[in-house]
Structure 1
């Protein structure tokens, strides 16, 4: 396999891990399932498995685990950051559960995974939002994660603006 092929496969595995992490966070939110239990369930029965006739992509299990554990560990830090970015009068607790999971995972990745460019993180979670929503939610994800990214990683955005400007 070429270097480009390996890179594309890794990107696909990370995209699958992000989607699985959002689904796991949603499941935890809706059912109250324990963190370790949801990770074990996803690793044993969902990541790379066929479910109801749909073949799920192989996901990078370590990346999936890091996202889910990180969101849970950092939730008290992440939620207020997201709250500040929501429209006036809105709180994260009022947001749809799947949208809340997308925002939390995206915010965590921007804050904690500086090995992934912020623009890539934002794009990935906007794509996930498109998989679940047909209205304005992907734009909300883009706006909120973009503002968090600008605050958390201003150098990345300054360098990008210099190149574009």
Structure 2
């Protein structure tokens, strides 16, 4: 009918956003609960991505992108952590910050460093949105600042 709004089909961008959020949750689970990588990936594929969990409806997520983020953080963590450390306040290494923030910053740093096809501003915006899902204004502002520092160092041509 005229005037009716079409229902939105979650596009690729929304599916990637959902994959980012799920990746942060999975990294948190692996970090805090010491859950094994493969078991965590399978659990999220079976029970979280695009499902209803505890009354919350999860958006359909790009499963491949979800796994790419997890694989990337796991593979490159020894390179990612010092970069995040250098962007944090002195005396607060990535291992000392909140586990959720750590998962957000590691995921975002992976994308910033290894997914050059995704614009830096998109990575920053997406992960600030993820931070907003978990925290009030201080932590998302910190995420924004850290990611801007990383972008300025590694993608200066994009963030002038």
2:123 to 121, 125, 142: 121
Q: Does 1:50 align with 2:23?
A: no
1:157 Cα deviation from its structure 2 partner: 1.9
Q: In 2, Cα distance between the equivalents of 1:40 and 1:106?
A: 22
The 4+ residue runs of structure 1 with deviation greater than 2 A are: 5-8
Matches within 5 A, 1:1-165: 9-158=11-160
Post-superposition CA distance 1:21-47 (Å, at most 9, x none): 000000000111111111111011110
Aligned residues: 154
Q: Which runs of 5+ in 1 are unaligned?
A: 159-165
Q: 1:33 to 1:138 in 2, by over 3 A?
A: same
Higher helix share: 1
Q: In 2, Cα distance between the equivalents of 1:135 and 1:121?
A: 18
Normalising by structure 2, we get a TM-score of 0.92
1:153 Cα deviation from its structure 2 partner: 1.2
Residues 56-65 or 29-38, more deviating: 29-38
1:109 Cα deviation from its structure 2 partner: 0.5
Q: Which runs of 5+ in 2 are unaligned?
A: 1-6
1:93 Cα deviation from its structure 2 partner: 1.2
Q: In 2, Cα distance between the equivalents of 1:7 and 1:126?
A: 23
Q: In 2, Cα distance between the equivalents of 1:103 and 1:84?
A: 12
> What is the alpha-carbon root mean square deviation over aligned residues?
1.6
Post-superposition CA distance 1:66-114 (Å, at most 9, x none): 0011001100000000111111211111100000000000000000111
